[in-house]
Amino acid sequence: MTTVPLFLHDWRAWQPNRPAAVDPRLSTFERPSGQSLPAMLRRRLNGLGRAVCDMLAELDPDSTTLMIHASRHGDGERTLELLYALAEGDAPSPARFGMSVHNAILGVHSIASDNRRSLQALSASGDELAALFSEARGYLADGAPRVIAVFSDAPVPARFAEYAPPSRGAAAVALAFTADRGRRVRSAPAATNPDAHDPPQPADVIDWLVDAAPLRSPQRGLAWRLDD
């Protein structure tokens, strides 16, 4: 079976407080504006969600592209608030619940942009990046001309931090893929690296894009590179 090639056509990223961004596709503002959203929708999202929606609006101004969003932990703070409410005997807020699920950000974006194409959300226990690449290939193999894959995450709430891998901070990256235009994404068995035990986070993908840093998946034993 022939594997569909994966080409990176364009990208956007957000990583607050990263030292001097030299690429205009990377935003380092601490508070994303959420300018792509009307005020009533913007107020529902935190900074990470606003950053993602702004990136998607830039990459897909005509609102015609299939989208996939992966996050390992989602909005942990909002989920924890719901659990606290239940523990105290209060009725959980339907609005907070609606915004705590993994598809919340894409849902808000689709309402604001009137994007009626397929929108998928996933979590893969640390294997989110490889899952995004696989899903994007699947859509392209099915005839989609372009797919946008979003990878975002934020630190888990402090009380759960000891049970999660060390976080590199809140960050998000949106990757526009095609089957024939851009820089080809290639994978190969990863060289043994005793220091590379943690799954890749959005900040690692940004390092890969901006600084050509190594990008590996310990779970799958793969390393990815971008051809010029």
Q: How confident is the model over 134-178, as pLDDT tens digits? A: 999 999 999 999 999 999 999 888 888 888 888 999 999 999 999
- Domain assignment present for residue 132? The answer is yes
Q: How many CA atoms lie within 13 A of 101 on its CB side?
A: 11
- Domain assignment present for residue 25? The answer is yes
- Domain assignment present for residue 85? The answer is yes
The Cα 110–Cα 116 span in angstroms is 7
Q: How confident is the model over 109-145, as pLDDT tens digits? A: 999 999 988 899 998 888 999 999 999 999 999 999 9
- Domain assignment present for residue 92? The answer is yes
Return the number of other C-beta atoms located less than 10 Å from residue 82's C-beta. Answer: 15
The answer to whether residue 193 scores a pLDDT higher than 60 is no
44 contact partners, CB below 8 Å, separation of at least 6: 95, 99, 108
Domain CATH code at residue 83: 3.40.47.10
Q: How confident is the model over 29-42, as pLDDT tens digits? A: 999 999 999 999 99
- Domain assignment present for residue 218? The answer is no
pLDDT given at position 177: 98
- Domain assignment present for residue 140? The answer is yes
pTM: 0.91
Count how many domains the chain has. 1
- Domain assignment present for residue 202? The answer is no
| Domain that residue 151 falls in | 7-185
1 band by pLDDT with thresholds 50, 70 and 90: very low
- Domain assignment present for residue 197? The answer is no
